[in-house]
Structure 1
Amino acid sequence: MKTYILEGLKLSTGILLPYILLIILTSAQLDGYAQTSGNISGKVVDNEGASIEYASVALLYEDGKMIKGALSDSTGKFLFTAIPDGKYLVKISGISYHSLTTEIFVISVENRKLDLGLLKLKEDSKLLNAVVISAQKKLIEQTIDKTVINVENSIVSEGNTALELLARAPGVKVDDEGQISLKGRSGVLVMINGKSTYLSPKELSTLLKGTNSSSISKIEIMSNPSAKYDAAGNGGIINIQMKKNMKTGLNGSISLNGGASRNARYGSATILNYRNEKLNVYGSYDYGYRGETEYLDFVRRFYDNGNIGSTPTRTSYQDTETDEPLHTNNFRLGLDYELDSSNTLGFLINGNVGKYTHDSKTGNRLISGDGSIINQMATTNYDQQNWKNLTYNVNYLHKFNKEGRTFSADADFASNSFTSKLNLKTTMLQSTDGQTGAITSRRGYVPAITDVYLAKVDYTDPLNKTIKLESGLKSSFIQSDNNLRYDILNNGNWEYDTNGSNHFKYKEQIHAGYLNFNQEFKGFSVQAGLRGEYTRTEGHQITTDSLLTRSYFQLFPSVFVSKPLGSNHLIQAAYSRRIERPDYGDLNPFRMFRDPLLFYQGNPFLKPELINTFQLSHSFKGKYTTALNYNRTTDVITWLSGQIDSLNATFESPQNLSKLINYGVSFTASTTFFDWWNGTHFANIFRNEYKGNVQNSTFNNNTTSFSFNSQNSFKAGKGYTLELSGFYYSGSVYGISEYKGSYAISTGAQKAVLKDKGTIKLMINDIFQSDRYREQTKYQNIDMYTNKRPDSRRVMLSFSYRFGNQNISKKDRKTGSEDIQNRVKGGG
């Protein structure tokens, strides 16, 4: 083990051990005191005793005023904690079921823990006599702190990749390079099963393209996380939850899908689970092949006098056709063992192995101002990328005698390797009589290795009937090694390119601790938290023997206030401070060539960006939510274009702009226009204002943007369900560039077969092939336009089948590590 890691682990142990001992000693003492908080639990079932998941459960005062709401979990269970003494009742409702209201019950000193038992909902006979024959989980659900997209219940999600699903999520936008933004804010932290993927944006984009929807259960979107979560992720957090079966016995599912866009797509997935009273063993594997052809038009205009408004001296017309076949293998193997009723130990391995090929053919014509051809080039770019990501986790959960008090510990090791083998060949074509062609060739080998070591502990304790404490510590150690080598073909011999090659190593350690207090007052509740993070980074440019180190400590407060106004209205206010650190690929100053006239280059002097975010929201009947947002980001990291006029070349590099102001209003509505038509709709109006200094010139780029997303489900009887979804994004700005609007409409149908254990789905994505990326930049001497047409229209057919015990469920338990998140980037 390298000295750096050994020192880090020693420091981590020194930090965590006293904290663990303090928790154990304190908890042992507190367990002796009488419990003072009231808890209300129960389980929602149908007439046959089967669990009803995601039923709406409202806790009411005896006069009918709402206190708080919740959703039943995958086993039908719900729990309300820290309830003051008093008289209450519970109201439960679910799609295609009659609502149920309990009798008034009492929480008092003599009755602190109340179990309401099995609460049966009766099916709606009117609904059964109509065309609808079964209940269905909503496609999109809006909870207090997040938006949940139930992917496994969506028809048009079938055959899509995780990245394509995110592109259709409410408030989420994915650009042509796979960068993800939320409500106009970039810097979104993406997790899988509550854990960071430990990848750079480019590698993350490749991973999400290779993750098939058949293995995804749901997507959770949190625009304003609390201090309990890592401060990374200025744009918020998106958590992709993979499928995991919680039923007893041996059970599982298989699925197959196939179809075509411009090329073929197909895949398969298998999920197995065995559970008894003590042991749960689960695993999954899916394979996916995605063929894709993409078209790109790129126009650049050059002005010798520097005046963009005049006639261009030269114009470059570039067109590219790219084939991008991708093979991916995802697997997961886990084991949870209940040592006794209070202690659980778990082990988990996640893996992703894949291959991606970028095979493009580019034509480039450089035209003079009078229309004559200056030169023509033909370029082939063949880039074969391979990656292997393995994450190992050990987790422990202890439940104390006091209801709600828990202690959890996690240790993670992630090994990530990524390689790129690039061959770039350019031929100068004959433009005039007597002109001879020239050929230039470049090859590159880009290995990137990133190792992550992580340890964390969390402690939760309801101190009394109205106050709950959450606290924790976390340490992470990361090292990345990227050794880029370029060779140039010279007279038939490959020669080492000293100017283009580069070796870069990066080390980072982050130590964090947080305290979170939840208190319920009469008529409203408050959550206040404070997180502190110490960061130390070291970037070693081995090629030039330069070393850049940084260390800093930051505090990240957060405050959330919630107040019910009667039984129908809920007002919430939130504030948080967050950080977005530059990833390793952004810091690495090497050049990555797309063609001889376009390259990307990192910036080792990037500073982290900081954001202060505010939100005020109002919810009506839990169905309609309006939210006002204001966000101010300083040192905002933005990829900017540059131009070398003498070479007719363009490059992109990340820079720190002074600030980004983002504010807007969003509206979410859950509708039931008819018994057979359910929908969720999201609209967002926001304004982005970029301000900064680029090439010694101050600029202010701003615009007001609009987005709309609608998901609709129709029940047609006899086991048929139809779905129609669509989105629209108006124009927006990013740095010195602006993006044009786009839209897409998708549809699908599904049929339950084999006694409802099987499902057949047919979907058509982006019917009008209107989802494209159009970007325009006009700044100083830069005048360029990009039009990218991805392979978005496709038809997919799928079949899935569930087998084994599907009826008896056991209590749902989380491993205690589902909130692990970390800004860990690779060197892609």
Structure 2
Amino acid sequence: MAVVFAKAQGLSIQKGDGKISGVIIDSLSKQPVDFATVALEKWTDSKSVNGSISDEKGNFKLTGIGNGDYRLIVTFIGYKTTATKKITISDQNNVVKLGKIFLASSGKVLDEVTVVGQRELVENKIDKLVYNAEKDVTSKGGDAGDVLRKVPMVSVDIDGNVELRGSGNVKILINGKPSSLVNNNVADAMKMIPSNEIKNVEVITSPSAKYDAEGTSGIINIVTKKTNIAGVSGNISGTVGTRTNRGNGSLSYRTGKFGFNAGFGGMYFYPQDGSKTFLKNQFSNDTTRITSQNGVNSRGRNGGNMNFGVDYDINKTNSLSSSVKVNRRLSTNDASLLASYSTNYEGLLSQSYNSSTNNSNRAGLDWSTDYRKTFKKPQQELSFSFQLSNDEDNTDFSNHFLGISQPLDSTIRSYNAGKSHEITFQGDYAQPVSNKILLEIGGKTILRDATSDYSYEYKLAEGDFLPLSGFANAFDYTQNVYAGYSVLGFTFNKGYALKIGGRLERTEIRSNSQSSMISNNSNSYNNFIPSLTLAKNFADFSSLKVSYTKRIQRPSLRYLNPFIDTSDPLNSSFGNPNLLPEKTNSFELGYSKFFGRTSLNASVYYRNTSDVIESIVVPLDSIRSAISYANISKSSSVGVNLFGSVQVGQKVTLRGNANVYTYNAADSRVTTLYSNTSILYNMNLNASWNLPKDFVVEMFGMFNSPKRTIQGKNPSFSMFNVGFKKDVLGKRGSLGLNLSNPFNKDREFISSISGNGFNQYSQTSVPFRSLGVTFSYQFGKMDFRQQQQRSRSVGKKKGIQNDDLKQESDAQGQ
């Protein structure tokens, strides 16, 4: 669509009442051709006067045409250009219906080429916003977090935690499916996915009833690069930098009905040395107890992943595909802190050096298989999907305390073996009731089981390690979800469209614990999830959309697991197995407009949530505190999101995104010194400059306000990147240079919390400046004839989308 809008700058628009319509059809498969470019030219001088693209049904419509003689030119990659006979618009004949226009395959085989997309960086569609990451220069050599920071409405903090419109309750999918890579820890997963492998990112803020009910703020789908073009093709890329080294590659092979694809990726983060300051005051009558920690820490991270997939077209209407993905992640965190405890009357009471080591070893596997059947009637299709996910997360830590005054020398260590297992079955069917009505129905079953087996050991300076039996536990959590949905889509005259649906979900949960301190639990509940979207497309390339949906957010294992993490002995953390799901009503009004070289997307939204899951800090005694999770009564948010893009001349493009929203939380059980209402924001600016000889320069800046919780605020985050890219080897390869945070070597992050009888402050400093050199190379021989035939017979990708579970992020940095 962006191609048409860009070309429209040179059109000589003829004002009038004439209308021309038709449908673009593949001459071999007799299936509609979507996104074909339709241009209207004057018959006499071939000057373009109007244009459009075909929709998913192959339909197009041109309006506002003046009287005269014209020809219609239809083009699409892999097809021969088609021109119609003379078309005459007059007062007596101002509505022309051309019917079917057939496109024939060009029959060309392209050797050793790179296919360059011409899409805009950001596309606004009726049900989602699409960020075309492969066109972004400054993200090269980075990770998924670097890409998501550029996506409108999305924010990512320094640890990689992802929010959508200020809410962390977002479901992240990879190629339309959940992944064990993401399910256990979003922040780690974002660092594992190289930006070079991301094709685009889809943001769905108002999912229909077809999607799982979870993800109260919406869905983010990361689409990786993959080709359906016949032949052999692939790419290899690498990054060498001052903070990060990466390498990844992919290979695709297709011939006839069979296709194979494989990929790999690896990353190594140099250990980064930072500093930490922590101060907590507890008040009792006129006594103030003061706990402080000061010291340094070092974090390291590395990992890798591989994937293999095959697909087979049984015939023109039946296809089968299967894929396997494996991943492994290792991380370390070593810290050395000086801890002190004092009061305002007695002065210093105790002091010790605390040295700690925390290791995490995670491994995951995803296996999915999909079957799809299409019919002669367009949009009629049947699909069945199966997915198996396994994940293991083994962590261990040890703390050594060297007493300076009062405390004895001692060591405590812990082991936690976590496993999660998930099986999903899904069936979907779409039936066109008429040319303007589409019925979609389906069902889904998700069977989940997660375990956590942990133990603690303790020893004094001269003794042996002894088990702390009161802290050991084996926790088993089972969650089964059964769902069915129905969605009706209507297409009306004058550009109106309506989608209405309902989804019924039943959830059955059970938790068992060997610890007498934690009670076993079983529960079940039903949720009905309605959805409604009404859209209007106007002839001036603008659209208006209003939507409503209800969402729920079930807590995942991290929020539920009662394992006590005492890697920081003064600030332990543990989950709450009694958490309830969040329930959200979401309303949105959106408007988009293309005019000249400028595009604008604006939306106003409102969310109202009950049983909100938030982290809560609770004092355990005069020295120690604990971070856990609780359901607070309610929260609401009103927000405005603006995204704009403008092309300045032929070489420079400017883009900007701003999201301003309110935080309003209330719970009579939680006491805080902070106001329950705040105005927050996140915004970014991006500029790209195309230079001669295939050079590109791009700059990116991001600015986020501090994040709010009901007890206080977490750190703000901002960054600035500049990137350079040069195409080489006939545009099959590229060299790049990226610089992040050039003006400051380190970044400081400040958090402050207050509660009943206490307040606390923390400041963390981490190295952030980085320089990286990237290289990528694409290779292959591609045949577009088989691609076009297959794309019409197989159509859009289907599969499991577990838009499910409140996914964990890095713990609140108190």
TM-score with structure 1 setting the length: 0.82
Q: CA deviation at 1:214?
A: 2.4
Deviates more, 1:489-498 or 1:535-544: 489-498
Instruction: Provide the residue aligned with 1:534 in structure 2.
Output: 506
Instruction: Provide the residue aligned with 1:251 in structure 2.
Output: 233
1:616 and 2:594 equivalent?
Answer: no
| Code of the aligned partner of 1:586 | Y
> How far apart in 1 are the matches of 2:241 and 2:601?
37
Specify which of 420, 428, 444 is matched with residue 458 of structure 1: 428
Q: CA deviation at 1:521?
A: 1.8
1:546 and 2:529 equivalent?
Answer: no
Report if the CA contact (8 A) 1:449-1:826 is conserved.
Answer: no
Sort the Cα spacing of 1:791 and 1:697 in 2 relative to 1 into closer, same or farther, 3 A.
closer
Q: CA deviation at 1:699?
A: 8.5
Report if the CA contact (8 A) 1:625-1:667 is conserved.
Answer: yes
Instruction: Provide the residue aligned with 2:549 in structure 1.
Output: 576
Report if the CA contact (8 A) 1:515-1:531 is conserved.
Answer: yes
Specify which of 163, 166, 170 is matched with residue 148 of structure 2: 166
Instruction: Provide the residue aligned with 1:277 in structure 2.
Output: 256
Give the alignment of 1:274-423 within 5 angstroms: 274-293=253-272, 295-305=274-284, 313-369=288-344, 372-423=347-398
Sort the Cα spacing of 1:445 and 1:510 in 2 relative to 1 into closer, same or farther, 3 A.
same
Report if the CA contact (8 A) 1:396-1:815 is conserved.
Answer: no
Instruction: Provide the residue aligned with 1:786 in structure 2.
Output: 762
Give the alignment of 1:587-736 within 5 angstroms: 587-621=560-594, 623-646=599-622, 648-695=623-670, 701-736=676-711
Report if the CA contact (8 A) 1:292-1:791 is conserved.
Answer: no
Superimposed CA distance per residue, residues 525-567 of structure 1 (whole angstroms, 9 cap, x where no aligned partner): 1110111111000011122273201111101001000113442
> How far apart in 1 are the matches of 2:774 and 2:502?
47
Specify which of 193, 217, 225 is matched with residue 211 of structure 1: 193
Superimposed CA distance per residue, residues 331-364 of structure 1 (whole angstroms, 9 cap, x where no aligned partner): 1110010011111011111111121112222222
Identity rate, percent: 23
Instruction: Provide the residue aligned with 1:493 in structure 2.
Output: 464
1:232 and 2:220 equivalent?
Answer: no
Specify which of 413, 417, 428 is matched with residue 443 of structure 1: 413
Q: CA deviation at 1:158?
A: 2.2
Deviates more, 1:800-809 or 1:668-677: 800-809
Q: CA deviation at 1:601?
A: 1.5
Q: CA deviation at 1:707?
A: 2.0
Instruction: Provide the residue aligned with 1:507 in structure 2.
Output: 478
1:559 and 2:532 equivalent?
Answer: yes
> How far apart in 2 are the matches of 1:268 and 1:568?
42
1:805 and 2:781 equivalent?
Answer: yes
Instruction: Provide the residue aligned with 1:471 in structure 2.
Output: 441
Report if the CA contact (8 A) 1:39-1:83 is conserved.
Answer: yes
| Code of the aligned partner of 1:180 | V
> How far apart in 2 are the matches of 1:789 and 1:93?
55
Superposition CA RMSD, Å:
3.6
| Code of the aligned partner of 1:138 | E
Report if the CA contact (8 A) 2:703-2:719 is conserved.
Answer: yes
1:776 and 2:752 equivalent?
Answer: yes
Report if the CA contact (8 A) 1:200-1:824 is conserved.
Answer: no
| SS of match in other structure, 1:590 | coil
Q: CA deviation at 1:141?
A: 3.1
Sort the Cα spacing of 1:329 and 1:306 in 2 relative to 1 into closer, same or farther, 3 A.
farther
Deviates more, 1:230-239 or 1:769-778: 769-778
> How far apart in 2 are the matches of 1:771 and 1:572?
40
Q: CA deviation at 1:85?
A: 11
| Code of the aligned partner of 1:448 | G
| Code of the aligned partner of 1:427 | L
Sort the Cα spacing of 1:460 and 1:698 in 2 relative to 1 into closer, same or farther, 3 A.
farther
> How far apart in 2 are the matches of 1:148 and 1:228?
19
> How far apart in 2 are the matches of 1:135 and 1:825?
33
Count matched residues.
739
Sort the Cα spacing of 1:303 and 1:673 in 2 relative to 1 into closer, same or farther, 3 A.
same
Instruction: Provide the residue aligned with 1:585 in structure 2.
Output: 558
> How far apart in 1 are the matches of 2:669 and 2:105?
64
Report if the CA contact (8 A) 2:385-2:799 is conserved.
Answer: yes
> How far apart in 2 are the matches of 1:251 and 1:414?
29
> How far apart in 2 are the matches of 1:403 and 1:201?
36
| SS of match in other structure, 2:185 | helix
Sort the Cα spacing of 1:771 and 1:457 in 2 relative to 1 into closer, same or farther, 3 A.
farther
> How far apart in 1 are the matches of 2:61 and 2:130?
32
| SS of match in other structure, 1:448 | strand
> How far apart in 1 are the matches of 2:241 and 2:346?
45
Instruction: Provide the residue aligned with 2:10 in structure 1.
Output: none
| SS of match in other structure, 1:350 | strand
Q: CA deviation at 1:821?
A: 3.5
Instruction: Provide the residue aligned with 2:29 in structure 1.
Output: none
TM-score with structure 2 setting the length: 0.84
| Code of the aligned partner of 2:764 | K
Report if the CA contact (8 A) 1:701-1:733 is conserved.
Answer: no
> How far apart in 2 are the matches of 1:348 and 1:273?
13
Instruction: Provide the residue aligned with 1:3 in structure 2.
Output: none
Report if the CA contact (8 A) 1:82-1:462 is conserved.
Answer: no
1:155 and 2:137 equivalent?
Answer: yes
1:221 and 2:203 equivalent?
Answer: yes
Superimposed CA distance per residue, residues 612-642 of structure 1 (whole angstroms, 9 cap, x where no aligned partner): 0000011122721110000000000001111
| SS of match in other structure, 2:189 | helix
Report if the CA contact (8 A) 1:692-1:699 is conserved.
Answer: no
Instruction: Provide the residue aligned with 1:745 in structure 2.
Output: 720
Sort the Cα spacing of 1:179 and 1:800 in 2 relative to 1 into closer, same or farther, 3 A.
closer
